[in-house]
Amino acid sequence: MTTTPATDELAAIEAAEARLHDAEPEAILEWVFRRYGTGVTLASAFGNTADAVLMDMVAKVAPGTEVFYLDTDFLFPETHEFIAKSREKYGDRIDLRMYKTDLTPEAQALKFGERLWEQHPDQCCEIRKVEPIHQALHGKRAWITGIRRDQSETRANAPAVTWDGKFGLAKANPLVTWDEKKSWAYIFANDVPYSPLHDRNYPTVGCTNCTRAVMPGEDQRAGRWSGTDKIECGLHLG
């Protein structure tokens, strides 16, 4: 169900988007924390350079902010390694929380059939990602994501800030104007932890069942749901 904000809230977001559409991350973060304060949460998939950069930025500008991730039960060992390194680096400067479905992989197989991600990938993402994120966002006023316009055609016109009618809160994309080069420059300059898989041609990392290395010349998201027409998990689609 799509939700509509109050008129004044929508007006404030539209005004901010007009001003911040091509702004630097610091300006976007300043706006979202000034307006929504402790009602802000950062979503991290621990699967791309944007996740790494934003966690470091948020730890600096708003210490103690909640950062959440979704454990789908199919995360790479390297993803868990990235999570552990982030806990070690940031400590109580971030409030790192995990959310997941109550449906175990075994129960999912019994209920919907083996290897659901191959037969019905959208349904698998709905169960293991979309449904748990409703719990993660419950009671929040705004969420921050690592969407960048360079990541895919579906994200090429992504706003800096918007109303997320799917989840019923504001949404900010501070790195929307950045690219991989800028993200890596920030990571190296600030000694930011990142996924070891990035060094093995995995520019974006999801579940083990639906992620492969990217070949030379391919789009950076070509390794996600390869061989299907699926391009998004559903979190960023209305």
Can you say how many angstroms the Cα of residue 199 is from the centroid of all Cα atoms in its chain?
20
Q: Of the residues 124, 125, 210, 233, which is catalytic? A: 233
pLDDT of residue 217: 80
Residues 69 and 77: their CA atoms lie apart, in Å, by 15
Going by pLDDT thresholds of 50, 70 and 90, the confidence category of residue 222 is confident
Domain 7-196 in this protein, CATH class: alpha beta
Could you read off the pLDDT of 143-186 as tens digits, one per residue?
A: 999 999 987 787 889 999 999 998 999 999 999 999 999 999 99
Could you read off the pLDDT of 111-151 as tens digits, one per residue?
A: 999 999 999 999 999 999 999 999 999 999 999 999 999 87
**Polymer length in residues for the chain:** 238
Strands (E) across the chain are located at 40-43, 65-70, 94-99, 142-144, 161-164, 169-172
Active-site residue 124, yes or no?
no
